Amino acid sequence: MTDFPDPLPWLIVLPLLWGTLAFLLGPGRGGRLAIAAIALQGVLALQLAGQLLDDGSRVYAVGGWGAPLGIDLMADGLAAVMLLLTQAVALPLAVFARGYFAASPKGRELFWPLTGFLLAALNALFVSADLFNIYVTLELLGLAAVGLVAIAGGRQPVTAAMRYLFATLLGSGAYLLGVALIYGSYGSVSLAVLTPLLTSEAPLAVTLAAALILTGLLLKTALFPFHFWLPPAHGGAPAPVSALLSALVIKASFYLVLRLWLELFAPLATVAAAQLIGALGAAAILWGSWLALTQTRLKMLVAYSTVAQVGYLFLLFPLATLVPLGAADSAVQGGVMQAVAHGLAKAAMFAAAGSMIVATGRDDIGRLGGVGARLPLTLFSFGLAGVTLMGLPPSGGFSAKWLLLMAALESGQWWWVAVMIAGGLLTAAYVFKVLRRAFLPVAEGDRVTRVPRTLEFSAFALALAAILLGLFGAPLLELLAVGRAA
């Protein structure tokens, strides 16, 4: 062992521990504990990233048994990038949530324990190297997310939570069916054991299993046409919850699709399947952006923007499948960069939207007048996040879309370029729709109150991080390369 304490197991144990302690402390308690613990998790994630950069990817045998008898954890560059993103988004959001629930206490009773379990599930999922263990982490993640959607109570959030529950359970069910078929074919669920077996022989059952697993995960990622559950769930929850769900939870199932597609199911990947996934992504970009433009509620607009931005993530599949190596590399880099940039920017955007709703007392784009004058920092954060989503330089979104563009041109698939440009224009349209309203003076009879400084600064920190990612993205790409066959 290189360091003590070893960051890998503690990244899973720590959030489980503080989540349980927050539950013990009682309703609404545990915010300060959570912030301290998430900061510690951030240090652990950085420490792990440093280990990986020095020594390459690592395998960790839980219980000392080793696969296939026991469960292995595996941390490579991709996992480390996702771990860093998770802690980097969670820390400002925890600060934001403390201020938000002080100003608007609806739903604060169970927020901290549920968030602890949610982060534990995310961290465990990113480092799991066992198909069944991944299913357990998906369950933990799904139930925590559904619980968070329901905490505000009321007819609409609870309906949205139930719909989300059914969607996520259907996705988990399809995934589990696939895992059962794979276990039935080979007798193991360890990724490291399965990968060579699948390369040498893949019976029909395994092709079916791959289709079931990927479809289940696409449903959980809310890729078009499976996006129906996302806007009510993300748009109806309290703002810190919406931010966690949009920034992190859907990225977890995307991460699994990416990892399985590139590694375990690589022998089964076909150009036709990749083009189909890319086409769904393109449809998501156009349809989601268009619907975002037609919304009248601020949080629904941001939620539909998530539907659209998820589409960009899936453009990487046609660009990385059976194409020249250079193109495939920059496609994967672009896709992961998009996941990180969108995570930071969307968290900032939901946080800023939450502050505006607290300040105006309603969730209505038409009544945002005066926000520009009273909450300039919040509006600035919203705008910066919008710059990232549009993909303007120098943001992280620009780097992501640039890498994807390069991949598209190198592999001769110009049609994806057209989709990306159209999506960027539509994004600009819906971001400016909000900004234009917010710069108007206060309407007759409306009031815009101030909000606590922590709300404004935490949103700004997230938005700034999304921009800085574009300027200092190189170390992240270096980390991503750890453990990937060059």
Partner 1 sequence: MKAWLTALTVLLCSGLALALGGAMLALPEFAVRLPAQVTANLDTSGVSHPVTAVLLNFRGYDTLLEVAVLLLALLGVFALSRHADEHAPRATPAHPVLQTLARLLAPLMVLVAGYLLWVGAHAPGGAFQAGAVLAAAGVLLRLAGLLPAWAQPGRLLRGGLALGLLVFLAVAVAGLPQGSLLHYPVSMAGALILLVEAGLTLSIGLTLAGLYLASAGAKR
**Which residues are near partner 1 by CB under 8 A?**
5-6, 9, 12-13, 16-17, 19-20, 23-24, 26-27, 60-65, 68-71, 109-110, 113-114, 117, 120-121, 124, 132-133, 136-137, 139-140, 143-144, 146-147, 150-151, 153-154, 158, 161, 177, 181, 184-188, 193, 197, 201, 203-205, 208
Q: What is the distance between the alpha carbons of residues 205 and 182, in angstroms, rounded to a whole number? A: 7
**DSSP per residue, 43-59:** HHHHHHHHHHHHH--EE
- Could you tell me the sign of the dihedral formed by the alpha carbons of 147, 152, 153, 159, in that order? negative
209 versus 285: smaller Cβ distance to partner 1: 209
Chain centroid to CA 382: 18
Q: What is the DSSP letter of 443?
A: P
Q: What is the distance between the alpha carbons of residues 25 and 29, in angstroms, rounded to a whole number? A: 6
Shortest distance, CB of residue 344 to partner 1, whole angstroms? 27
154 versus 324: smaller Cβ distance to partner 1: 154
Q: What is the distance between the alpha carbons of residues 53 and 56, in angstroms, rounded to a whole number? A: 6
- Token output for 166: 């059914």
**DSSP per residue, 9-31:** HHHHHHHHHHHHHHHHH-TT--H
Q: CB of 181 within 8 A of CB of 208? A: yes
Shortest distance, CB of residue 69 to partner 1, whole angstroms? 5
Angle at the Cα of 354 (from 353 to 358), degrees rounded to 5?
A: 115
92 versus 147: smaller Cβ distance to partner 1: 147
Shortest distance, CB of residue 193 to partner 1, whole angstroms? 6
* CB neighbour class for 2 (10 Å; exposed up to 12, middle 13-18, buried from 19): exposed
13 versus 468: smaller Cβ distance to partner 1: 13
Shortest distance, CB of residue 165 to partner 1, whole angstroms? 9
Shortest distance, CB of residue 5 to partner 1, whole angstroms? 7
Look up tokens 């991709």; give the residue. Answer: 78
210 versus 258: smaller Cβ distance to partner 1: 210
Q: Tell me, what amino acid is at 164?
A: Y
Peptide bond into 225 cis (omega under 30): yes
140 versus 284: smaller Cβ distance to partner 1: 140
227 versus 342: smaller Cβ distance to partner 1: 227
Shortest distance, CB of residue 182 to partner 1, whole angstroms? 11
Compute, in degrees rounded to 10, the torsion defined by CA atoms 352, 356, 359, 361: -130
**DSSP per residue, 397-426:** HHHHHHHHHHHHHHTT-THHHHHHHHHHHH
Q: What is the distance between the alpha carbons of residues 337 and 127, in angstroms, rounded to a whole number? A: 19
Shortest distance, CB of residue 243 to partner 1, whole angstroms? 18
Shortest distance, CB of residue 110 to partner 1, whole angstroms? 5
Other beta carbons within 10 angstroms of residue 155's beta carbon come to 7
5 versus 366: smaller Cβ distance to partner 1: 5
215 versus 454: smaller Cβ distance to partner 1: 215
189 versus 461: smaller Cβ distance to partner 1: 189
Q: CB of 194 within 8 A of CB of 131? A: yes
Strand partners, 190: 130
Ramachandran area for residue 269 (φ above 0: left; ψ -120 to 50: alpha; else beta): beta
Shortest distance, CB of residue 266 to partner 1, whole angstroms? 18
Going by C-alpha positions, the residue among 402, 413, 252, 251 that lies closest to residue 321 is 413
Shortest distance, CB of residue 101 to partner 1, whole angstroms? 14
- Token output for 85: 């993103």
State the Rg of the chain over Cα: 21
9 versus 483: smaller Cβ distance to partner 1: 9
Shortest distance, CB of residue 270 to partner 1, whole angstroms? 17
21 versus 442: smaller Cβ distance to partner 1: 21
Shortest distance, CB of residue 168 to partner 1, whole angstroms? 12
Going by C-alpha positions, the residue among 49, 56, 37, 66 that lies closest to residue 8 is 49
Shortest distance, CB of residue 219 to partner 1, whole angstroms? 14
238 versus 311: smaller Cβ distance to partner 1: 238
